[in-house]
């Protein structure tokens, strides 16, 4: 989901493209984007509301431990990957399964997952390069947090340099976070 900053310059493209052609292409692009459902933020081949237990196990193997709990009356499962079983660069990864969707409750679908990276693995610049400008931010609790409507919350250390927690969820409605400046 990293944005591309390599856009053609106007001086190069203007003589080749008439304004009518650009207008038609822009309208077609907007129509195509409107037809595509919002994609969730993802990482390491895990995408909330799409990935399954089978896919996570195929990618990362079995968890270090599992925990079961009830969420809104449904039996859910968390897989915790720690130590040597955590993905490279992570202290811990927690994958929560069990999601209520339009077709009913799906016990084996990823609801959300949390990464706890080692210090310096996901710096502020790395987050901005990989996921772009956040939809909003917060400075509550003495730590900066970035919020993305695509379904990502990043909490930084006290120095606001390195991510200490990254929570991936299905896309979230706007208006829940302070707009970024």
Q: Give the mean model confidence (pLDDT) for residues 159-178.
A: 84
| Res. 143: pLDDT tops 80 | yes
E runs forming strands in 35-177 = 65-71, 74-82, 90-101, 104-117, 136-138, 145-148, 152-156, 163-168
Q: How far apart are CA 124 and CA 111, in angstroms?
A: 25
What pLDDT score does 13 carry? 36
What pLDDT score does 35 carry? 31
Phi, then psi, of 47 in degrees rounded to 5: -130, 120
Pairing of strands 178-179, 136-138: antiparallel
pLDDT (tens digit, 9 = 90+) per residue, 108-129? 999 999 999 999 999 999 999 9
Report the share of the chain in percent with pLDDT over 70.
Answer: 73
What pLDDT score does 97 carry? 98
pLDDT (tens digit, 9 = 90+) per residue, 55-103? 999 999 999 999 999 999 999 999 999 999 999 999 999 999 999 999 9
pLDDT (tens digit, 9 = 90+) per residue, 18-34? 434 333 323 333 333 33
Mean pLDDT of the chain: 80
pLDDT (tens digit, 9 = 90+) per residue, 31-63? 333 333 346 688 999 999 999 999 999 999 999
């Amino acid at each position: 989901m990293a944005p591309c900053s390599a856009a053609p310059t106007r001086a190069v493209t203007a003589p080749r493209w008439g304004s009518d052609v650009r207008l038609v292409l822009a309208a077609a692009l907007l129509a195509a984007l409107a037809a595509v459902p919002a994609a969730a933020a993802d990482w390491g081949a895990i995408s909330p509301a799409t990935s399954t237990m089978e896919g996570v196990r195929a990618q990362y193997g079995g968890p270090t431990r599992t925990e079961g709990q009830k969420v809104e009356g449904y039996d859910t499962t968390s897989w915790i990957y720690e130590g040597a079983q955590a993905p490279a660069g992570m202290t811990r990864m927690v994958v929560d399964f069990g999601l209520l969707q339009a077709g009913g409750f799906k016990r084996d679908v990823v609801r959300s997952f949390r990464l706890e990276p080692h210090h310096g693995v996901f710096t502020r610049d790395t987050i901005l390069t990989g996921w772009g400008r956040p939809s909003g931010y917060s400075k509550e609790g003495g730590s900066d947090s970035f919020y993305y409507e695509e379904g990502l919350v990043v909490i930084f250390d006290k120095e606001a340099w390195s991510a200490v927690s990254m929570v991936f969820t299905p896309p979230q409605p706007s208006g829940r976070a302070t707009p970024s400046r």
